[in-house]
Amino acid sequence: MSASRTMAVVLAAGKGTRMHSRERPKVMQELLGEPMLHYVYQALEPVFGQDVLTVVGFGADLVRKVFPGRAAGMVVQAEQRGTGHALQAAWPELLARGAQACLVVNGDAPLLDSRHITQLLDQCRAAGADLGFASILVCGHNTYGRVLRDAGGRVIGIVEAKDFDPARHGVPSGEVNAGLYYFRLSTVAPLLSRLTDGNAAGEYYLTDLIGLAATEGLSLLAVPCGEDPALMGVDTPAALVAAEEGLRARLVAHWLGQGAIIRQGASVRIGPKVTIAPGAELTGPCELLGETKVKARVRIGSQTVVIDSTLAEDAVVHSFSHLDGATVGPGASVGPYARLRPGAELKEKARVGNFVEMKKAVLGPGAKASHLTYLGDAEIGAGANIGAGTITCNYDGKHKHRTVIGEGAFIGSNTALVAPVTVGEGALVGAGSVITKNVAPGKLAVARARQVELKRKS
């Protein structure tokens, strides 16, 4: 059977009560800035491409909004009555799309890797199995379904933790269901309609198919995966944090292997969509999230947060800076203590220093704003100097307005530029001025009250 005739089904309809997420579905809980469902899709992509169905229910609209490219493959489980019921909801669509087999995975398995998927598929196909699943060994108390085997070691069923009775089922072996299944549609279809909700949760369990398959004498295969923590699902805040830490360590190790220099790596958080060129240097603690791109020889200091930003070659981000949706050009310098908001752009060798904030503003090549400045909705020309305490007054209470500062202009300290306003090339604005009118190129503008001295009263 070819992989093209096998589809994947992701179970993502649950509320996740133990996650205390209220209106957000469980699979939308985030790890390193991305929903856990993102990681499941990432693992499935190399094997299935777009041949993936997602069973959604609680919070379905949010799932569609965040993953619009997967919306066409989403099937609604209007009433969430268990994992078996979820597969029943997806079954007609599987048949309609011509699938002959399916791989089913829980949407709360963010550490799942493509190798786990191919391992299960390869072994099930090689054995000609009608039904297969991955199992793991877990010590101590857990909420996973217990795998039952007979005296000869043959799998005879899976019993959920709530329904497990040692007096009836024996001493737990520690082997549990990992939530990753393979089903041949033609042979499993008759069993699917025989699922019942006669259990402690009052739900239709997908795991009951294993017992039914064993009873019917179908070819059943359990694929032991040892103690692999990557197959552990996430169903509590503690499990979420543990999974995130495992993912964080994996990504740091990956980029170290690609040639990045990452100091204090245990305190560095790198999102799954981030790219880092060889030779870039990071010092923790710091966070790189979203679709951030870090080019060669970039240096990022400690206590920094960089989100959805691009840092060009030789750029430097000093400590305690926060970048979100920013573009930093070659050789440009940011911070320390700088904040670049969406639309902020530094051209080649431009510089912003401590306590400078930029939003929808462009700082031209070689231009600098060294300290205590707000630049919003502004365009600053090459080589311009923005003095300390300068503010572009871009908001009049209803609308935003733009400030344009020409090449080589010099803005004195403690200046307020009331937009819309233009300061021409080479112009000089005296310190302490409030500029409300355009300043012509090469001119000096001073807009402040005349200093006077009065006799002090005794």
Examine the domain organization and report whether 294 and 370 are in the same domain.
Answer: yes
Dist CA 12 CA 36 (whole Å): 10
Sort 139 into a burial class: Cβ within 10 Å, 0-12 / 13-18 / 19+. exposed
Which residues sit opposite 132 in a β-bridge? Answer: 182, 221
**Residue with tokens 């329904």, as numbered in its chain:** 163
The catalytic residues are 371
User: Per the domain annotation, does 49 fall within a domain?
Assistant: yes
**Hey, what long-range contacts does 202-205 have (CB within 8 A, 24 or more apart)?**
203/81, 203/82, 203/83, 203/84, 203/85, 204/81, 204/82, 204/83, 204/84, 204/85, 204/88, 205/82, 205/83, 205/84, 205/145, 205/160
Cis-peptide, bond into residue 336, ω within 30° of zero: yes
User: Per the domain annotation, does 451 fall within a domain?
Assistant: no
User: Per the domain annotation, does 452 fall within a domain?
Assistant: no
Return the structure tokens found at 197. 């909700």
Dist CA 254 CA 412 (whole Å): 47
Strand, coil or helix: what is 366? Answer: coil
Dist CA 135 CA 177 (whole Å): 5
pLDDT at 3: 42
> Structure pTM?
0.87
Question: Phi, psi (5° rounding) for residue 229?
Answer: -70, -15
User: Per the domain annotation, does 453 fall within a domain?
Assistant: no
Return the structure tokens found at 441. 């190129």
Return the structure tokens found at 277. 């060129």
Dist CA 27 CA 7 (whole Å): 20
Dist CA 154 CA 36 (whole Å): 34
Query: Which residues of the chain are under the pLDDT cut of 70?
Result: 1-4, 22, 139-143, 161, 165, 167, 170-172, 458
pLDDT at 148: 80
pLDDT at 154: 84
Dist CA 81 CA 77 (whole Å): 9
pLDDT at 149: 80
Return the structure tokens found at 285. 């603690």
The DSSP line for 131-159 is: EEEEEEE--SS--SPEEEE-TTS-EEEEE
Q: What is the CATH number of the domain that holds 144?
A: 3.90.550.10
Examine the domain organization and report whether 212 and 246 are in the same domain.
Answer: no
C-alpha 284: how far from its chain's center? 19
Domain finish residue from 197, 231, 265? 231
Q: What is the CATH number of the domain that holds 357?
A: 2.160.10.10
Task: Report the b/e string of 157-179 with b at 16+ CB within 10 A.
Answer: bbbbeebbeeeeeeebeebbbbb
User: Per the domain annotation, does 458 fall within a domain?
Assistant: no
How far is the CA of 274 from the CAs of 33, 74, 383, in angstroms? Answer: 11, 27, 32
- What is the number of residues in the chain? 458
The residue type of 370 is: S
Examine the domain organization and report whether 169 and 249 are in the same domain.
Answer: no
Direct distance between the N- and C-terminal alpha carbons of the chain, in angstroms, rounded to an integer: 101
User: Per the domain annotation, does 161 fall within a domain?
Assistant: yes
C-alpha 333: how far from its chain's center? 27
Contact, 130 vs 188, CB < 8 A?
yes
Dist CA 61 CA 28 (whole Å): 12
Domain finish residue from 183, 202, 231? 231
Return the structure tokens found at 371. 């300290």
Range of the domain at 158: 3-231
What is the number of structural domains in the chain?
2
pLDDT at 1: 37
Examine the domain organization and report whether 127 and 183 are in the same domain.
Answer: yes
Examine the domain organization and report whether 292 and 180 are in the same domain.
Answer: no
User: Per the domain annotation, does 454 fall within a domain?
Assistant: no
Dist CA 80 CA 115 (whole Å): 30
